[in-house]
Amino acid sequence: MKDINRLKIVLVEKKKTGKWLAEQLGKDPSTVSKWCTNVSQPDLITLSKIAELLNIDRRDLINRSK
């Protein structure tokens, strides 16, 4: 599976955990874990909420395609 998002990297950079993010979003930690490992992807609304919580541009959460 191709790495689509950079969520795991950004969480480390921001010194936050997947558990913290799950609590902020009201999601199950296993769901956030799947996003971090690129097994599944958050929808665009959730991606925008994540960017807001981490105080970054949502484009910073997505790997650029070549």
Query: In this predicted structure, what is the pLDDT of residue 1?
Result: 58
> How do the residues of the chain divide into helix, strand and coil, expressed in percent and rounded to 5?
60, 5, 40
In this prediction, residue 66 has a pLDDT band, given cuts at 50, 70 and 90, of low
Give residue-wise pLDDT tens across range 4-45: 999 999 999 999 999 999 999 999 999 999 999 999 999 999
- What is the Cα–Cα distance from 65 to 43, expressed in whole angstroms? 18
Dihedral angle sign, alpha carbons of residues 28, 32, 38, 40: positive
Q: Which domain holds residue 44?
A: 7-60
Query: In this predicted structure, what is the pLDDT of residue 5?
Result: 93
**CATH number, domain at 17?**
1.10.260.40
Both tokens of residue 26? 């009201």
Asked whether residue 28 is assigned to any structural domain, the reply reads yes
Name beta bridge partners: 62: 5
Query: In this predicted structure, what is the pLDDT of residue 63?
Result: 87
Asked whether residue 65 is assigned to any structural domain, the reply reads no
